[in-house]
Structure formats: C-alpha cells, structure tokens
Amino acid sequence: MFKISSPYQEALPGDQSGNLASRLTPGVAWSLAQPTPVLKPKLLAVSAPVAGLLHVDVENVSRSELGDILTGNLIIPASTPYAMAYGGHQFGGWAGQLGDGRAIVLGTHTNASGDRFDLQLKGAGRTPYSRRADGRAVLRSSLREFVCSEAMHHLGVPTTRALSLALTGEGVVRDMFYDGHPATEPGAIVCHVSPSFVRFGHFELPRANGDVPLLRSLVDFTIREYFHEIDAKFTGEEKVAAFLNEVAERTARLMSQWMRVGFVHGVMNTDNMSVLGLTLDYGPYGFVEDFDPRFTPNTTDSEGRRYCFGAQPHVALWNVERLAVALAPLFSSEKPLADAVAAFAKRFDRETVEMLARKFGFDSIRDEADDALVQDAFALMQRAELDFTIFFRALASIDAESPRVEVLAPAAYRDEVFAACRADLEAWLARYASRVVQNQGSALDRRRSMNATNPSVVFRNYLAQEAIDDVMGGSTTKLESLMRALERPYDDGEEQRAIASRRPEWARVRAGCSMLSCSS
Ligand code: AMP
Ligand code: MG
C-alpha cells in the first residue's frame, strides 16, 4: 500500500542509536525514533482526497490494520521512523534546539506517478526532542489540525495535508488553561502528508552550532529534492541565493493567501515556517470573524500580539531574515540577504494588490481612489464589527445600480453597532457601486470572480468546537459533514449554508471558540 524510501535519512547524518531520552543531538539532522505503541487505535476519519493523492486504496485494507499503521502500532515495510532535528526563534528569541518532540516521520511514500510525500505521525510518542513533554497530542488539537489542513487546501492556500485522524485509546493529561487544573483528555494522532516538513529552523540549528558542513548538506539536499529548477540552473553561491529568494517569494505569496481568507496562524515561530512556503503546524490558529487586524487567537500572544492578523506579513519577513542569517556562512557577501528581503517585499506587494482587486471585484486597483476604497472598507468593517468572510460574500451580491446596505446586515455581530455605522456604510457602498460599474466585465463577471476568491465558509473555531464535542460524545457525524462542506468552500449549497453563519453568541466567550491556548 505504501512504498517507502527515505532520501532525508540517506542524504543527511543521523543519530542511529534509537535512544529516546531527551538530549541535545549536535551534528545530526535526525534521530531514529520508534513510535510508542498505543493501547487501542481507532480511526475517526480518513481524507479521501489525500488517499487519492497518495494512490493508496484505503478500502483495500482492514480498518484495524490501517488504524495500526496510522498510529505507529504497525511499522510499514522499509520504514525506519525518525524525528527531525531543528531549532527556532520563538516569539522573537532564539530557543536553541527544538526538533520533532512528538512528530515522527515514517519515511517518504512514492505514488504511482512518481510523486513523493513524507508521512508524519503527530502525537506518536517521545523522541530525543521531547524535552520534558510527553510526545502525545490531544483530540481537540488533532481534530483542529486534521480538518484545517484539508480546509486550507480546498481554499487554495498552500499547506501540508492530513491523511487521517485517529484516537489512541489512551488519556493525555493537559492543563488546558495553564491555571493549575490538569485534566485527562483523549489522545489522538494525525498522519500529516507533505513533500517535506523542512523548516526555517532546520538551517538555524547547524548555523547556531557553527556546523557549516551540516548546514551545507541540508541546503544541498533541500535544493536537490524540492527545487529542481534552481538545481538545474545555478551552481555554487548563486544556487543558494536563488533558493533563499525562492523561499522568500513563496513565503510572501503564502502571507497574501492567508490575508485573503482571514487566516491567523497564531504561532509563527521560525520552527513553524516551511521552506516550501506551505502552511505548517496548526496550533492555536483562527479565522478573523468580526474584523480586527489586531486579532490573535492565541491566548499566549494576547499581550504582545506579535502574531496577530495584521502583523503576519511583517513577521514572515522577519522570519525570512532569520533564514537569511542562518545561510550567511554560505555567502561571500551580504547581497543575497538584502536581495531576499527585497524579493519578499516585491512579491508580497504584487500578490496583495492582485488579491485585493479580486476580493473587491475590481478589474484592477487603478489609482489612489481605489486604494482608499479598500482601506476605508477595512476600517469600516472593524468599526461596524462586520464578519470578514460574510462581508465579502455579501459584497459580491450588491447591485451596483441600487446598492442596499441591508445586504451587509448578515455580517453584523451587533445590531446597534451596525445601525450606528449605517450612514457611513451607505456612503461607502455608493462609492463602491460607482466604481464597479466602471469595470470592463459585466456585473455577473464581477460576482463570479468575487465568489471564486472569497469563500462562503471557513473553518471557524466554533465549528471546530462543535465537532470536537460531537466526537467526545461518540459521534463523527458533525466531523464528516464539516469535512464535506469544507471541500467546496466557494459553493453556496446546503452543506455550506449549514456552517456559513457568523459565530453564535455562546461561542464569543467559550474557550476554544475565539481564543485558544497553546496546550495541545
Ligand atoms: P509547537 O509550538 O507545537 O510547534 O511546538 C514547539 C516545540 O515543542 C516542538 O519542538 C514540538 O515538537 C515540541 N512539543 C510540543 N508539544 C509537545 C509534546 N506534547 N511532547 C513533546 N514535544 C512537544
Ligand atoms: Mg511546531
């Protein structure tokens, strides 16, 4: 079923001891780490699109065998499971060696077309990088990670994927609110799928250890495996510079895509930044609801708001700078570093201008008046407490001949605030209507194109909580209908309508529905 090889292990030095005791592992890019068997695996969900991508016929294996494989109880032939070594900057400070503390890579699966995917079990037990933690993951965070990986893919945002979500049949103790009240929760394991899980932090660690040979091996491996065009076109220092530039551009593009759908990652530490420009490691993330550029779903970040919605592009650039600094020993001048920063800015600006034009249904952003229209919309959305997702869907259906402010009412969280902003919203809508009638295309073109850019549904945290509560009660019905609806986030069908409404009042204050802790 799976065809496993391990280019990462073959190309890079590793710690072969199999010793799972927490420790520093200088000089290696990975450590052998056998998953710790779990008591009673139970598959909750398998993503059919991901199974299709891998060309694995999940119907052809028994559920129990599949459950064993996808929780690490049964090791597939040719797999020599390992944990990756990496470091990272966390909340602005260098955190030293981190590594896969609870994620274990089974190896690289090659599908029938020759495409390669790394398979990673998260929550599969302790590794040398677990430090003082248990190597496990709880159901709530695993379900959130499983569903959102897939939801983001269907939204068209670059992301790692997820094949499965399984219960371990074991309890995991977590102090969810960090208030001295630990409780036992169900343990779970997600099988993540990605061409690679290499992070910015992979390069920062050997750089911090002064291990230039390992740094160079990692760079060579990454370019050879994942950046074929650059590998073929450049040599020497130029090759490394082209790689850095490409990572910068992909990261810039990713930021613009996050802004498009209102995604807030929540923990943009450099160890959570993919060199492939994919969304990676879903923790206390959230989608912006009542619009606020300072929104952060992460309780740990509520003071500093380092990783809030509006700060993400700046933080991403800061992270790219950390990568550039890590690669500095491979350059003879500082020019490639400055070039990467410039490449990020240029790509982000271009992507964002195009993205905003599509969101607002303009054929392009033509001038300062268009710019002002966009900026004023965000300011008004915030003042009127309008839902980011619902606002743009509603805007698509505005009749430019006779714009009516009522069309925006479903986006409003508070009637009295909406009423107080009514005159300003009307004035803005009048400006908007007179602008879109100047478009080249028809009104129908505008609506179609806006509805292909602005999703009708996103994975709101309250929906996650409802699915988690349902699974805790022994049912996967909500999880399944949620997955189906989120496979087509630009549709307006019955399944989408069931999850399209704004966050209900009960969810405003409930833990897990607007704010989340890092505990997982
Ligand atoms: P995160 O913020 O979830 O990306 O995790 C940061 C670091 O902490 C990574 O090195 C993780 O592997 C590690 N980590 C987080 N939770 C656990 C856990 N329960 N057991 C072991 N390591 C963990
Ligand atoms: Mg992480």
Identify the residue whose tokens are 């709880």: 138
pLDDT of residue 517: 86
Catalytic positions, please? 271
Q: Classify 30 as helix, strand or coil.
A: strand
| 463-501 confidence digits (pLDDT tens) | 999 999 999 999 999 999 999 999 999 999 999 999 999
**Is the entire prediction scored with pTM above 0.85?**
yes
Identify the residue whose tokens are 């490449």: 343
| 8 A C-beta contact, residue 120 and residue 111 | no
What residue owns the CA closest to ligand 1's atom 15?
A: 101
pLDDT of residue 489: 98
Q: Give the pairing type, strands 82-84 and 116-122.
A: unpaired
Cα gap 326→207, rounded to integer Å:
5
In terms of residues, how long is the chain? 520
Cα gap 108→95, rounded to integer Å:
29
Q: Report CA(131)–ligand 1 centroid distance (Å).
A: 9
pLDDT of residue 409: 98
Residue 301 CB–ligand 1 contact under 6 Å: no
What ligand 1 atom has the least distance to the C-alpha of 127?
A: 21
Q: Report CA(40)–ligand 2 centroid distance (Å).
A: 26
Residue 102 CB–ligand 1 contact under 6 Å: yes
DSSP character for 192? Answer: E
pLDDT of residue 510: 86
Q: Classify 250 as helix, strand or coil.
A: helix
Domain segments of the chain as ranges: 4-196, 201-358, 363-520
Which value, to the nearest 10 degrees, does the dihedral of the CA atoms of residues 154, 159, 160, 162 take?
A: -20
Residue 133 CB–ligand 1 contact under 6 Å: yes
Which value, to the nearest 10 degrees, does the dihedral of the CA atoms of residues 94, 96, 98, 99 take?
A: 110
| 4-21 confidence digits (pLDDT tens) | 999 999 999 999 999 999
* pLDDT beneath 50: ranges in the chain: none
pLDDT of residue 514: 76
149 burial level (CB within 10 Å; 0-12, 13-18, 19+): buried
Q: Classify 159 as helix, strand or coil.
A: strand
Give the pair of three-digit tokens for residue 355: 């993205």
The alpha helices in 312-411, defined as continuous H runs, are 312-327, 335-360, 368-383, 388-396
Q: Report CA(351)–ligand 1 centroid distance (Å).
A: 32
Give the pair of three-digit tokens for residue 354: 């195009």
pLDDT of residue 341: 98
What residue owns the CA closest to ligand 1's atom 2?
A: 267
Question: Which of these, 152, 241, 182, lies nearest to 459 by C-alpha position?
Answer: 152
Residue 313 CB–ligand 1 contact under 6 Å: no
Mutation test of ligand 1: which of 129, 134, 282 has the most ligand atoms closer than 8 Å to its C-beta? 129
What residue owns the CA closest to ligand 1's atom 22?
A: 101
196 burial level (CB within 10 Å; 0-12, 13-18, 19+): buried
